[in-house]
Amino acid sequence: MYADSTIVVRYAETDQMGIAHHSVYPIWYEVARTDLIKKLGMHYSEMEAMGVMLPLTDMESHYHQAAKYEDELTVRARVEKMSAARIRFSYEVFRKGEETPINTGATAHGFVDSHTFQPINLKKRYPDLYALLSKAMEKDEIR
Amino acid sequence: MYADSTIVVRYAETDQMGIAHHSVYPIWYEVARTDLIKKLGMHYSEMEAMGVMLPLTDMESHYHQAAKYEDELTVRARVEKMSAARIRFSYEVFRKGEETPINTGATAHGFVDSHTFQPINLKKRYPDLYALLSKAMEKDEIR
Amino acid sequence: MYADSTIVVRYAETDQMGIAHHSVYPIWYEVARTDLIKKLGMHYSEMEAMGVMLPLTDMESHYHQAAKYEDELTVRARVEKMSAARIRFSYEVFRKGEETPINTGATAHGFVDSHTFQPINLKKRYPDLYALLSKAMEKDEIR
Amino acid sequence: MYADSTIVVRYAETDQMGIAHHSVYPIWYEVARTDLIKKLGMHYSEMEAMGVMLPLTDMESHYHQAAKYEDELTVRARVEKMSAARIRFSYEVFRKGEETPINTGATAHGFVDSHTFQPINLKKRYPDLYALLSKAMEKDEIR
């Protein structure tokens, strides 16, 4: 399963090279992650309100082609793997309608208690939430 | 009284016009505000920990000349006026060593309780903090 | 005439107060400005390619209520006034479906040559573009 | 050889988790990269003016501990490896005075012509610049 988010490159996101600055891709990944969780039937805000946060532990990003101001992009997010303690998302960024991504990346996160910031076992503590996120691991529907 | 902060324009802060994007000036103002409060003998983090927050209610910024990547700037912050309920800061941004500001601006803030987000009377609730901030209203030392 | 842009508050746009940081509103204004120009039948990228840039000279923003992560907002942009040398836009930010703006603001810009960065008389140099932007001054259609 | 840059976490860089958002670390890396090149005796702005740009092709970042508003950090940058076509920098972020990094990362860049955006052989085209950057590969001085 995956979720597609539409992003239009903002002027403020460009730099003096005339392209979208590399530091905005992680922000677009985050938009796509939010949309993926919403597609599963939950708001990430609700997860935080329940007491679960997903701070990043690792990020990688590979830039194949530049994006420019006003470019319309699709950011596709998937859950790559997941355990009771951790989750890893992967991303592909496409120019609208194209098949070859201009950027690919991944982020890894731990599940932590939003009050203590300590790691939690999501499966034990929030089995319903664990089950919900697990649904994202299902095979992509044939398009 | 005023505080001077040194800012070096970051690459990520430029846009495709080749200049520092206008939305970063409010962030530089905030750096200068933090330094001004520090100069008074307190960390803004401590104020928040005490239970006081200063959300912005109004901002204005006037751009006279552009700033470029790697430009070394001085951001000067002052308390323009203050009451028990509100505070207003003003800012001037200079190219290092120059006398004419390339940007001038101001921000107005209310004092709110950091838990309830409700307005507070700073003078009554935190008289010491009120006195401390009032010191910033003192006449600039002759240079 | 006005244009409405939809913005969903990004996680990265929040600060430790738990609200959208005030420096992102100018970025949302810019998105709305881009959409308004597009609605007039032109891309702002094309204007820059033609040789016209609109650097900001003045900005103001008034924050009435906070916006939170995942809030769905409408940013409404209008051309407030315009001359051969300058243009001023105004903005209102609404929570989706609400009538009272949570933020209002304005930005003023000069027309400059994108190569020399010198002011230009838009009416003389690009009469078609001047006419196009003037259309934005028309009375709002009755809704 | 390495360069150390001092960063103080800005309020705008925090998110609603109360920590510096992960997307700002790449921006801090860039500040450190700028300082490393300056330490070698050149401004990155001059490199761009000469006609050489270093767009990012790959980035990775590993978050060991969080940074908070007003934290004073040291960002250490090194050139990890370099060829005629590419360069790779590595980074360590420390809390001031600490020995264990709170974040580590790396960025890879290609050398491109700033007008055509095409890859260039830096060693052939700009032998002096190539020699200068190679100096950064020298063993760290014993402290």
pLDDT tens for A91-123 read 999 999 899 999 999 999 999 999 999 999 999
Task: Flag if A14 and B15 touch (Cβ within 8 Å).
Answer: yes
Give the residue from chain A lying closest to D30, CA to CA. A23
Task: Flag if B34 and D27 touch (Cβ within 8 Å).
Answer: no
pLDDT tens for residues A14-50? 999 999 999 999 999 999 999 999 999 999 999 999 9
> Is pLDDT above 90 for D94?
yes
Q: Which residues, including other chains, have CB under 8 Å from residue C66's CB and lie 6 or more apart?
A: B55, B117, C17, C19, C20, C102
Give the residue from chain D lying closest to A114, CA to CA. D17
pLDDT tens for residues C58-79? 999 999 999 999 999 999 999 9
What pLDDT score was predicted for residue A33? 97
- Cα angle at B110 between B105 and B112, to 5 degrees? 145
> CA dist D118 to C118, D49, D52, D88, Å?
30, 16, 10, 18
Task: Collect all residues from D whose CB is shorter than 8 A from any CB in C.
Answer: 11-12, 14-19, 21, 23, 69
> Is pLDDT above 90 for D138?
no
| A15: annotated active-site residue | yes
pLDDT band at C141 (very low <50, low <70, confident <90, very high): low
What pLDDT score was predicted for residue B136? 87
Structure tokens, A7: 């992003």
CA B69 from centre of chain: 22
A16, A22, A25: best to mutate for the B interface, most B CBs within 10 A: A16
pLDDT tens for residues C2-30? 999 999 999 999 999 999 999 999 999 99
How close, in Å, is residue A69 to chain B by CA atoms? 9
Task: Collect all residues from A whose CB is shorter than 8 A from any CB in B.
Answer: 11-12, 14-19, 21, 23, 69
Distance CA D22, CA C65 (A): 27
Task: Collect all residues from D whose CB is shorter than 8 A from any CB in A.
Answer: 16-17, 19, 22-24, 26-27, 30, 48, 53, 55-63, 66, 114, 117
Task: Flag if C16 and D11 touch (Cβ within 8 Å).
Answer: yes
pLDDT band at A140 (very low <50, low <70, confident <90, very high): low
DSSP per-residue string spanning C53-102: E--EEEEEEEESS---TT-EEEEEEEEEEE-SSEEEEEEEEEETT-SS-S
How close, in Å, is residue A85 to chain B by CA atoms? 31
pLDDT tens for residues A45-91? 999 999 999 999 999 999 999 999 999 999 999 999 999 999 999 99
* pLDDT < 50 stretches in chain B: 143
Q: Which residues, including other chains, have CB under 8 Å from residue D90's CB and lie 6 or more apart?
A: D77, D78, D80, D104, D105, D106
Query: What are the two backbone dihedrals, phi and then psi, of residue C140, each rounded to the nearest 5 degrees?
Result: -60, 135
Distance CA B130, CA C12 (A): 32
With contacts defined as CB-CB under 8 Å, which chain A residues touch B14? Answer: 15-16
Which residues sit opposite D4 in a β-bridge? D76
